[in-house]
Structures are given as C-alpha cells and as structure tokens.
A and B are shown apart, each in its own frame.
Chain A
Amino acid sequence: MGEDISEYGGAFGVAGDLHKKYPARVLSTPISEGSFTGVAVGLAMTGYRPVVEIMFMDFLTLAMDQIVNHAANIHYMYGGQMACPLVIRTPAGGYRGYGPSHSKAMEAIFIGVPGLKVVAPSTPADAYGCMIEAVYDNNPVLFVEHKLLYNVEDDTACKHDESARLGRARIVREGKDVTVVSHSYGVTLASIAVSELAQEGIDAELIDLRSLKPLDTETIFASVKKTGRLVSVEEGSVFGGIGAEVVSQVTEVCLPYIDGRILRVGKPDVPIPASPEAEKHVLPDVKEIKIAIKNSLSWR
C-alpha cells in the first residue's frame, strides 16, 4: 500500500507493474500517511503481511504514532499475544537538490525505537534478500532505500539464497589498517574512498552494516580488534547518528585494541539545503571520507 503505486508504479517506479500482476493486493492510498500506516498495522494484527511505501523518508514523521506507539509496541505490550509483521519501505537520501523535507537519511531516529527493526541495504542482492527477510519477519521492519541506489543494476542479484541478512553485516573489502563501517549510499562513497586509498598503500576493511537494528556488533568488534581503528560513514547527522551508536559500543568493548583514532563522517547539524552547491557542502563526499580514514591511522 502506498501513494501512487498503481498505474503510476510508485514515485520512484519501485512498485512497477505489481498492480497488474496482483491487483487485489496493491492498494493506492489517499495522502494519509498517519492513518494508512495504521491501516497496515490493523492488517498485520489480523493475519496479513503488509508492505507500506512512504514516498519520501522525511514523511515518516506523519506516521510516527502508528510506527512508534503502535507497531513497535504491539508484541511487547500485548504480552506476546500478537505480532505486527509490517514492512515500511521508504526512499531516503539527498544529493538531488530536493531540499530539507525530501532529502533526509534519518534512520538514526528509528534505531532508538524498541521493537522496530531497521535495514538499509546498499546492493541489489541485499535489497532483494533483505526484503524477503523483512516480509517474513514477524516484527515491524523499516526498510530504507536510497534513491541514488535505484539506478544500480545487477541482473544476477535476484536469486534467493537463505543466508540471513537482518542482523548480519557484509564485509565488502577485507583489510588490516582501519575498519570503515557504513550503510546504504555511504557504502558506495566509502568504497570509492577505500579503493583510492588502497593505491596509496592504505589497506582498509570496509563493512556494509546492511542491518542497523539489529546491529551486527560481532562483525564490527572482530574487525576493530584486528585493525585497531574505526571510521564510521553515514549520510545522516553525525550528532546522534548511526555512527554514534557504533562508536559507543566499540568504545565499550574494544578500547584495549584501539591503536589510532575513532572518527565519524556524516552531515553536520544542519537541515539539507536545496541549492546543489550548498547541498554539496552539507552532505558527505569521498574526499571527507578519505581524510577521515587517513586521520584515523594515528594519534599524531
């Protein structure tokens, strides 16, 4: 269910021609995020597995009550009588000049909601695998899709394998000098940074978190214990961001292994401006990531 997902195929074309294949199960809604998310909660409570599209991640704010006070609470507060197997998928992210209310990568706000899982895949294969898992997961799952990743193609991706992705990170590149963690479009930027730095002899290990909640701390800790350094990269705000959580947990567990600096790359505490030049100053880029990685290598 969602806005404009029938003939129009969804604002970003993700729904495609599902309405033709499964007309009874594709519902275009009025512009009522606050309530149609609740309609999906009601569906989930009565035996269905609804997938709700919220057109831009920024609009999740309209659905906060049904997500936070209802969906996420249901299994716990009803003493386990009821589950809420709901998937909320939403296009996120900037770099397109859409301005402050159409550009956010605000997943960090949602990791603080107990009962809600959050995934943010960065590859077609992971998008496919995570979606299947999310649908079959009996908990509400926020599925964050980055708009710029819609263009990434991979014909071999859509084959189901039974490897678990929720709660499991993916090691993109093994390395020994520094651990770089990221998710969603941040992985794309970090990959470029890491491969450029490899030519300068810096051997970074890049981890794609994939699942923000549950967070794969096992993989992160093992990596940091090996490299002794950590750089977290995200598109969202540094203050109170995903990196804030990762770094806090790493500090609690891996401090004796740290042999350099722990740094975070992300957006400053600023709304995302519409002007493309201004947006470039606000959102992170490859250059910033490379600087952070180099700075992480030592205290001096």
Chain B
Amino acid sequence: MDNVLIYRKALLIRLFEEKVDWLFSRGKLGGTTHLCIGQEASAVGVVSALRPQDYVVSTHRGHGHLIAKGAVPWRIFAELLGRKDGYCMGKGGTQHICVTELNFLGTNGITGGGIPIATGAGLSIKLSGEDRVCVCFFGDGASNQGTFHESLNMASVWKLPVIYVCENNMYGMSTRFSDISKFEDIAIRAASYGIPSLIVDGMDAEKVREAAVRMVEVARDGRGPALLETKTYRFCGHSKSDPKSYRTRDEEAEWKARDPLLKMEAVLLKKMKVEDLDAIKEETRKEIEDAYEKACASKVLDRAESIGGVYAASETPGEAARARKLTLQA
C-alpha cells in the first residue's frame, strides 16, 4: 500500500470522526460515540498489512478500524443516525457495527468482549485450513479483562492465527493505565503466554505497518498468535461528554505535536506539491459531506422492522441433511 493511499485512509478517518464530533455537539446524533482522533495511524497501519479475506474484530472505538477495512462512510453515518441503510439497519449503532462482506466481525460495546470472538475466528481459520488471519483490536483497558488472559492462553496453546493488537492510549476512560497496572507496557504480558510481541510507535503509520507485517507473518506462517502494542493517544475525550479532567493540556499538546497526519503530510510533501495535498484534503472533505447527506436521506425503521429480526430463520434438520447429503443416523 503506498503512502498516498494510507494517508487518504487516515485523512478520511480523521475527517469522518471530526464530522461525527461536530454532529454530536449540535445534537444531530443520538446516543454516544467513541472517537479515535489521533489513533488513525494505528488503525491504518495494522489493517494495511491485511488482505481482504482476513478478519478484523474491533472495539467500542472502531470507526477507524471500519474505514481502514473498507467500510464506506455513508453507511457508517446511516448506522449512527439509526437508519435502514446503516450497516446494521441502525440497530447496532456505533458500538455494534458488523460488516460481513468486509470480514469485519464487529465493533464491540463490551470492553474485551471481542477478544474471545477473535480467538474463535482464529480457531475457525485453523479448523478449516483457510488462508486467513484474524486481527483483534483492543485497548489498554481491555488488557485487564479476564477475556484477554483466557483468550491469549487458548490462542497460544492451540496456535491460532490471531494478531492481538493493543492500542494503548494510556487511559481506560479516565483511568491512567499506570495507576491500575504494575507495568506500563502491555506487550510484556505476551511472555506469560509464550507468544511473540512487539511495541511500536502508534503515531507513525509506516512503523505500525512494518510491525504489523511482521506479526501477521507469524500468524500466517502457522506459528500461532502474536501481540502487538501500539503506543498511541486519543486527542479527543473518551466519549462525547468527557471534559478530560484526568489529563493535562501539556500532555495533550505533546502528543498532538506527533499527530500521525502531520507526520504523513511531511513525508508526502517531499514528493508532492502543497496544492496537490490541499486538493486531496478538499476531495476528502467533500467525500465526507456527501456521505453525510446521503445518509440523511435514508429512512428510519418502522415498528415491524424495529421489533423484527430477533431470530434467524432455520432449516429443519431434514432440509439441512438433504442439502448437505449428510446422514443423521449414528
């Protein structure tokens, strides 16, 4: 993936998130949301190491992962607006967006809730012998859930092709990671499970990509799971109503100076004219605006749609058996 494409993706994420933030501040979006402004390099860097058939499991802060994997902004907007054309018909909302055609197994509203699911996808890949891997995003907060430990244990023992990516932005909501954990690094926990790990600067997309490629190779080669920790920072609050009283403005400024987009732009400007870069920005800005307009035109759910769709239709055993030419006799 070339630098321009990666930058475009990161910029798309940034402008998407900023638009969502703006919409919330004007009361045009309901519920809550968890933006990944500042963490774009972590998302695009990791996903750029994947192929379309690889699975991704995400977190409550998953718009960046979604867009990096190829989700289209208008359908994400439609989902946030609760409309029929949302990826999940508006029923899941920001924290429960699954896109089967992109092999995106869902953003997740439970901290650490996706980790076992990603592990299951890994087991699925191994059992079927498919040429896939699964990336599981989670945060520093989730690294203290039981599911993290249980899942890494199982993945390591069963040698599952799962790359566990911890986006360590130092805060689980308002709680500083170093206040509730003995060590600052999460990657060291890999030693307990005997799996390889790497720590990487999560503000540098190129470095994240290189690290991800190495970790993905471990999984793809059948050597089992790996743990990648990206050191990153969210410039925004945890969710829409966060005054960020738990961190200093100095700390924020320090990290903002390392804005992944600024870094990418600096590299691009070595080979590109400012006008061309501005053109990309304008194009992307328009893409987001158009996407939002398109989403607004999508319909809301009626009563039948709202209360329907709880149970999946099933085949009878007879139908299923005939379809698969299976025998039901022992």
Contacts and interface: CB of A to CB of B under 8 A. Distances in A.
B100 interface: yes
Nearest to B92: A77
B191 interface: no
A239 interface: no
Interface string A49-84: 000000000000000011001100111111111111
B151 A38 contact: yes
Contacts of A48: 124, 127
Contacts of A75: 309-312
Contacts of A41: 116-117, 120
A135 B123 CA distance: 19
Given A38-B115, A78-B106, A138-B312, A47 B317 contact: no
A21 B235 CA distance: 55
A39 B88 contact: no
Interface string B144-174: 0011001101100110000000000000000
Contacts of B72: none
A217 B261 CA distance: 60
A81 B105 CA distance: 10
B237 to A, nearest CB: 24
A185 interface: no
Nearest to B157: A30
Contacts of B62: none
Contacts of B80: none
Given A34-B146, A35-B147, A160-B317, A83 B116 contact: no
A85 B151 CA distance: 21
A232 interface: no
Interface size class of A (residues with CB under 8 A): 35 or more
A36 B154 contact: yes
A24 B328 CA distance: 19
Interface size class of B (residues with CB under 8 A): 35 or more
Interface in A259-288: none
B118 interface: yes
A44 B120 CA distance: 8
A35 B91 contact: no
A29 interface: yes
Contacts of A84: 312
Contact of B116 (A36, A138, A158): A36
Contacts of B123: 39, 42-43
B121 A76 contact: no
A77 B315 CA distance: 21
Contacts of B316: 133, 136, 162, 164
Nearest to B146: A34
A92 to B, nearest CB: 23
Interface string A122-153: 00000000001101111100000000000000
B96 interface: yes
A298 interface: no
B52 interface: no
Contact of A35 (B110, B115, B310, B312): B115
Contacts of A45: 105, 117, 120-121
Nearest to A135: B317
Contacts of A137: 314
B87 A79 contact: yes
A46 interface: yes
B117 A42 contact: yes
B317 A162 contact: yes
A34 B147 contact: yes
Contacts of B150: 30, 32, 34-36
B304 interface: no
A284 to B, nearest CB: 32
Contacts of B151: 32, 35, 38-39
A38 B88 contact: no
A17 to B, nearest CB: 12
A194 interface: no
A37 interface: yes
A47 B124 contact: yes
A35 B116 contact: yes
Interface in B301-330: 309-318, 320, 328-330
A114 interface: yes
Given A29-B154, A70-B117, A136-B317, 6 more contacts: A34-B150, A37-B116, A38-B119, A42-B105, A133-B317, A136-B320
* A-B CB proximity, top 9 nearest: A42-B120, A38-B116, A79-B89, A35-B150, A32-B150, A83-B312, A79-B88, A39-B120, A138-B312
22 contacts: A30-B153, A30-B157, A34-B150, A35-B151, A41-B117, A42-B116, A45-B117, A66-B116, A69-B109, A69-B110, A73-B96, A76-B309, A78-B96, A79-B87, A79-B91, A79-B92, A82-B100, A114-B310, A115-B310, A132-B317, A138-B315, A160-B328
Interface of A: 24-25, 27, 29-30, 32, 34-48, 65-66, 69-70, 73-85, 114-115, 117, 132-133, 135-139, 158-160, 162, 164
Interface of B: 55, 57, 86-92, 96, 98-100, 105-106, 109-110, 113, 115-125, 127-128, 146-147, 150-151, 153-154, 157-158, 309-318, 320, 328-330
